[in-house]
Amino acid sequence: MQNGRVIKAYNSFYYVQSDSGLLTCRLRGHFKKDRCDIVAGDFVAFEVLQDHTGIIEQRLPRRNLLHRPVVANIDQVVLTFSLAQPALHPLLLNRFLVMAEWSGIRRILICINKVELLPKEQIQTFLSLYEKIGYTVLMVSALQEQGIDSLCQYLSGNVSVFSGPSGVGKSTLLNAIDENLTLATGEISEKIQRGKHTTRLAQLLPFRDGFIVDTPGFSSIDLSRVDKMQLAGFFPEFRPVLSACKYNTCTHSHEPQCAVKKAVACGEISLERYEAYLAILQEIEARKKEYK
């Protein structure tokens, strides 16, 4: 029995990297019966067959699981957006941030591409909001190779997932990081100002003693499985005041003597972030009612 890491999963085939090289594997039958999913990033135990393929016998314990895109055992997620072409929608960014926080990822980076299209004032406004929260924000230009060296320092030795909406230039950015990746890139649709999907599946790509993962772009994220009573904890700037609310069951939406609402009124929590919280909370509550 050997151990390895799933680099890519596609059409019931699993490409496993181990000390002996890259091997094409299938699942043992009991996985299908038990409905045990194996995704890119998973560590597995497998047996080598005479035809030099493998059979996966066991999925080893996961450290974490990013729910969308589905990738296991990662060190950090690089949320990649642009402020122009296509324009950044704050609620969508905040939904990606909640998804990453919910998934238990230890480091979350916000990477803003296409900064060559923006005035410095707009860049600084964005930086001041999210850096104040505690997120690392990187401003880059894949086209002009601006900020690439700084980004590479964060990627070295880590398993990093690049995630974000279509059209923001994730694949172009990765090609600027390492021209050997030669990932497929697409143009922005002039009609809808969204990117054409060029990445079809998540796969781990070797990079500086670690891996980088390019993933399909999304226009939406489903957060309905998030527990509404835990949602506020996925907003880092809410955490210091949560225990000061009068009610233990406070949803920070309509209750009196709510410390979160007080912090918003005092400017300690941004109104933009609070409104994003309320929008996601409303979505979770609405979806729960549909299930009843």
All domains in the chain, ordered by first residue: 2-59 (2.40.50.140), 65-214 (3.40.50.300), 231-291 (1.10.40.50)
State the DSSP code for 198: -
8 A C-beta contact, residue 8 and residue 15: yes
Please give the Cα distance from 233 to 250 (Å, whole number).
12
State the DSSP code for 147: S
| pTM of the entire predicted model | 0.84
pLDDT per residue as tens digits for the range 118-169: 777 777 887 788 999 999 999 998 888 889 999 999 999 999 998 888 778 7
Lowest mean pLDDT among 39-43, 61-65, 181-185: 181-185
8 A C-beta contact, residue 64 and residue 104: yes
Please give the Cα distance from 81 to 248 (Å, whole number).
36
